[in-house]
Amino acid sequence: MVQISSESFTVHGRTYRPPAKPVVVICIDGCADEYLSVSLSKDRMPNLARMAAQGYRGLVRGALPSFTNVNNASIVTGMPPSVTGISGNFFLDPETGEEVMMNSADYLRCGTLLAEAARMGRKVGMVTAKEKLREILSHDLEGIAFSAEKANEAGMETHGIEDVETLVGAPTPEIYSGEASLFVLRSGVALLEAERADFLYLSLTDYMQHKYGPETPESLDFYGAMDVEIGRLLNLGAVVGMTADHGMNAKQTSDSHVIYLESVLTEQFGGVRVICPITDPYVVHHGALGGLVMVHLTDPAQTETVARFILEMDGITEVYDRDMAARKLELPGDRIGDLVVLSGRDVVVGRTPEYHDLSVLEGGLRSHGGRYEEMVPMVLSGSLNPVYAAKAQGDPRNFDIFEFTCNGMICEEDHV
């Protein structure tokens, strides 16, 4: 057995004290707590059940907007979006006036704890399902970083690893599949088994959660298959922490609705642009409809009137102007709209009917982005020590997950 570094390190004022054993943090993309509750109640996750019984299970608050890039950036830095600069998957770049993806590490305004862990001697492995996340999260990282989506393209110089398919023993998966997430977990198992890494961040994709509710056989099978890999990670002696980037709610029932906000506002006020920050290259998931949008106004004098008008609409729950949104939602003020608009549990907000191709949606629409997808699970393989038990009773965040996983559990060695 190779010696594992237990050097502590400090990033953005937080000190991480990883134990001298494998540390694995998993972000189950789109994992509303109900997925765990239902899968557990149907006896489909015996390893998770063991973690919850012997360790900890509770709720943590994610970052808003409750989108993937936003929360993954926060998780690997331990910082809110106001510090990371990542405010969505997609935004209106104020410097260029262009609507662009926020997929590049150029947009990240602070370093990651993964890079620092590697500098301190940990063998870091970072595996994402979607390629879009890999670049941003592997910023400055001297270690292994690849995506399931492009596993077959990983090379030693660019990704710190090659022949991933051979290592994992499976072909590069289709991104629109549960297999894409399972491949990430299996990669983690393979990296630990081969002693290629001892500090892992495994970030899955929410394709399955967008498509299937917690009670469906497909979802139960998927969570059952994930549980098998979680068991393997535990059996390899890893300290495991799990959370989610955001929850997931059904948005297309008889009572629910889609608000095409740009259409409504243009008719009423003119000169308005609505940006859907959920927008990403993976449209089959959600058709770019989510629970939070940015509104850009041409005339700043309209701000209050438009804000009030939007807030009065059925299905809208919160509206903040730029300054208040930056303050209340911890957002980078220069990368959001003049107004930030949130919607209810079963409501999504879009741009115009033409902008959203709902025909690509497979089955009903399940989505996220707003307040009702903000609370997510945190599950830890060990029970909390008193300091972190107290922290868990406050307002813990999903981007505290590395701190909880490294520092928060009672070490068995301490109790001989």
**Residues of the shown chain interacting with a copy of itself in the complex, contacts defined by CB under 8 A:** 33-34, 36-38, 40-43, 49, 52-53, 56-59, 61, 213-215, 250, 253-256, 311-312, 317-318, 324, 327-328, 344-346, 371-372, 375, 389-391, 393-395
What are the angstrom distances between the C-alpha of 96 and each of 35, 99, 107, 129, 321?
41, 9, 14, 30, 22
Cα torsion through 169, 173, 179, 181, rounded to 10: 90
Least Å distance, CB 323 to a copy of itself, is 9
Least Å distance, CB 11 to a copy of itself, is 20
Q: Which is nearer to a copy of itself, 41 or 104 (CB)?
A: 41
Contacts of 302 (CB under 8 A, 6+ apart): 269
Least Å distance, CB 293 to a copy of itself, is 18
Least Å distance, CB 200 to a copy of itself, is 24
CA distance linking residue 123 with residue 118, whole number of Å? 6
Helix, strand, or coil (residue 249): strand
Based on its alpha-carbon atoms, the radius of gyration of the chain, rounded to whole angstroms, reads 21
Please say whether the beta carbons of 113 and 11 come within 8 A. yes
Q: Which is nearer to a copy of itself, 169 or 217 (CB)?
A: 217
Nearest to 288 by CA among 357, 339, 340, 341: 357
Contacts of 84 (CB under 8 A, 6+ apart): 70, 73, 74, 77, 108, 109, 110, 332
Nearest to 26 by CA among 36, 38, 34: 36
Q: Which is nearer to a copy of itself, 318 or 403 (CB)?
A: 318
Q: Which is nearer to a copy of itself, 120 or 375 (CB)?
A: 375
Q: Which is nearer to a copy of itself, 139 or 371 (CB)?
A: 371
Least Å distance, CB 244 to a copy of itself, is 15
Q: Which is nearer to a copy of itself, 40 or 228 (CB)?
A: 40
CA distance linking residue 291 with residue 3, whole number of Å? 46
Q: Which is nearer to a copy of itself, 65 or 213 (CB)?
A: 213
Least Å distance, CB 204 to a copy of itself, is 21
Least Å distance, CB 288 to a copy of itself, is 21
Q: Which is nearer to a copy of itself, 17 or 328 (CB)?
A: 328
Contacts of 113 (CB under 8 A, 6+ apart): 9, 11, 14, 16, 76, 77, 78, 402
Least Å distance, CB 377 to a copy of itself, is 9
Nearest to 59 by CA among 405, 392, 370: 392
Segment holding 15, helix H or strand E: strand 14-16
Helix, strand, or coil (residue 212): coil
Least Å distance, CB 286 to a copy of itself, is 16
Contacts of 13 (CB under 8 A, 6+ apart): none
Q: Which is nearer to a copy of itself, 69 or 256 (CB)?
A: 256
Please say whether the beta carbons of 339 and 316 come within 8 A. no
